[in-house]
Amino acid sequence: MSDNEDRELQALRRQLDDAFETTRPRAGFEDDLWSRMQARRPLWAQVRDFLAGLVAAVRRVPAAPAATVAVVLVLAIGIGIISLRGPGGGGSSLSRESGTAPFAGGAGAFGRLPAPALQPVPNATTAPKTDGPGGAFAGQSTAGLYFGPATLVWAGQLNIHLTTATVYRYAEPTSAAADQFAASLGASRQPGPAGQGGLGAYSGTGFVLGVAGTIPSPLREPLFFLTPDRSTLPPPGPTATDTANAFLTAHNLLPTWPYVVATAQSADVVRVLYLRQFAVQGVGQVYTVDAVGERHGLEVDLRGGQPLQAVGPLPVTLEPADYPIISAGQAVKSALALSPAGPSSIEPIPTVRLTAAELIYALAIGGDHSFYEPAFLFSGTFTHNGITYVKRVLVPAVAP
């Protein structure tokens, strides 16, 4: 091959590289197609993947500098009331196999209550965790969660003096209730089954919507799941929170319950979290936590400044009832004696100093109703093979 021919072919290669590199579909095609793919998936799969999404995202960036997974806390405090706008309804079509908890306290209007409990995340002990969206545990933001057995030592302060607290109960929403909620957003039911646990799949102008009942594992309250057509969205706001607020407002989905806004970023996705709170007399606003003890509520994911999806609690009617609460001392004793939520995965069994505790609300399901119940969430960290882990212990606050 002559030098000239060689140079000619080299130039052609470069042109081909450039041609393939710069050949792109029309603007918006990538997100359009992704939305279409999401919309065609079974509702249950959409919800499951969303719930696993942040954990997966966090797993993908354990080695990233902490600054790349920044958590910005407390941008605004929303003031509202427990939502009473959503339809209630009776009956349940859900399997309770993995969501049933042992019964706990009983001296209240709802009778004996199922006990809230943490649910282990598969492989959690091998998944060092970056900053959690709730930012609940300052200084522990790069640790993974450990649910296995540990020798626990209490080394903190728990100064909560309560004798009673409110438990909230809701009936499992029906398909008719899901239809009513969808109609309030301007969406109509799509043909076909909604999938396991799903109450309905809907479409409206510029979005698709899924509604699911209480999810046993990972435990979540009834949810809506809204995916917009990204080609029809207005320009982004000045901040992620502004965009999320505008998006939720446009769809009449801004929470009516008390919340604190936080943002978490993973790779190119920004998640705006509306962390749900309940008012506790004598304590103030306390957070709700999910199945692994993370603060949670309604979440809006954004990419490129534009909403990708929103997931939040389906509005349901909450009935309140006061229950007697165990003392702080009893809570500490219970925390140290509680059986581990997960199997042993670290040898030898670690010793963990629990250094923080707070009153929170956690979900528990039982029979035809589910309950938001007060509980004490203890936490501490330990290091194993150079990896820092968080150990959390959840103690039901309702007196047995």
Partner 1 sequence: MVADRPPFEDLYREFMRRIYAYVRAQVSTAADAEDITAQVFMNAYQAYGRFEARNTTPAAWLFRIARNATLDHFRAHGRRERLRRTIEHQPMAEVDPAGVAEERIQYRALLAYVARLPERQRDAISLRHSGLSFEEVGALLSCSEDAAKMLYHRALKALRDSVREGMA
| Nearest approach, Cβ of residue 58 and partner 1 (Å) | 12
Q: CA-to-CA distance for 377 and 358, rounded, in angstroms?
A: 5
DSSP string of 51-80? HHHHHHHHHH-TTS-GGGG-EEEEEEEE--
| Nearest approach, Cβ of residue 34 and partner 1 (Å) | 6
For partner 1, give the closer residue by CB, 19 or 63: 19
CA nearest 49: which of 34, 61, 29? 34
For partner 1, give the closer residue by CB, 8 or 368: 8
Residue range at the interface with partner 1 (CB under 8 A); choices 6-14, 106-114, 131-139, 335-343:
6-14
The CB density around residue 189, as the number of other CB atoms within 10 Å, is: 17
Tell me, what amino acid is at 149? P
Of residues 41-80, which lie at the interface with partner 1 (CB under 8 A)?
Answer: 41, 52-53, 56, 60
Long-range contacts of 17-22, Cβ-Cβ distance < 8 Å, separation of 24 or more: none
| Nearest approach, Cβ of residue 18 and partner 1 (Å) | 6
For partner 1, give the closer residue by CB, 13 or 161: 13
Asked if residue 26 lies in contact with residue 290, where contact means CB atoms within 8 angstroms, the answer is no
| Nearest approach, Cβ of residue 40 and partner 1 (Å) | 7
For partner 1, give the closer residue by CB, 152 or 292: 292
| Nearest approach, Cβ of residue 329 and partner 1 (Å) | 42
Q: CA-to-CA distance for 224 and 209, rounded, in angstroms?
A: 7
The separation between the first and the last C-alpha atoms of the chain, rounded to the nearest angstrom, is 88
For partner 1, give the closer residue by CB, 17 or 368: 17
Q: Is 123 in the site for partner 1 (CB under 8 A)?
A: yes
For partner 1, give the closer residue by CB, 14 or 161: 14
Q: Is 12 in the site for partner 1 (CB under 8 A)?
A: yes
Q: What is the per-residue burial (b if ≥16 Cβ within 10 Å, else e) of 319-334? A: beeebbbbebeebbeb
Of residues 19-48, which lie at the interface with partner 1 (CB under 8 A)?
Answer: 19-27, 29-30, 33-34, 36-37, 40-41
Q: CA-to-CA distance for 195 and 16, rounded, in angstroms?
A: 46
Q: Is 232 in the site for partner 1 (CB under 8 A)?
A: no
Q: Is 109 in the site for partner 1 (CB under 8 A)?
A: no
| DSSP bridge pairs for 383 | 388
3-state secondary structure 238-293: CCHHHHHHHHHHHCCCCCCCCEEEEEEEECCEEEEEEEEEEEECCCEEEEEECCCC
Residue range at the interface with partner 1 (CB under 8 A); choices 12-20, 189-197, 244-252, 321-329:
12-20
Place of tokens 């007060």: 374
Helix residue ranges, H only, the chain: 3-22, 29-40, 43-60, 175-184, 240-250, 328-337
| DSSP bridge pairs for 364 | 371
**How big is the site for partner 1, counted in residues (CB under 8 A)?**
30
DSSP-derived 3-state class of residue 224: strand
For partner 1, give the closer residue by CB, 23 or 385: 23
Out of 9, 66, 74, 84, point to the residue binding partner 1 (CB under 8 A): 9
For partner 1, give the closer residue by CB, 43 or 113: 43
| Nearest approach, Cβ of residue 149 and partner 1 (Å) | 23
Return residues touching partner 1 (CB under 8 A): 8-9, 12-13, 15-27, 29-30, 33-34, 36-37, 40-41, 52-53, 56, 60, 123
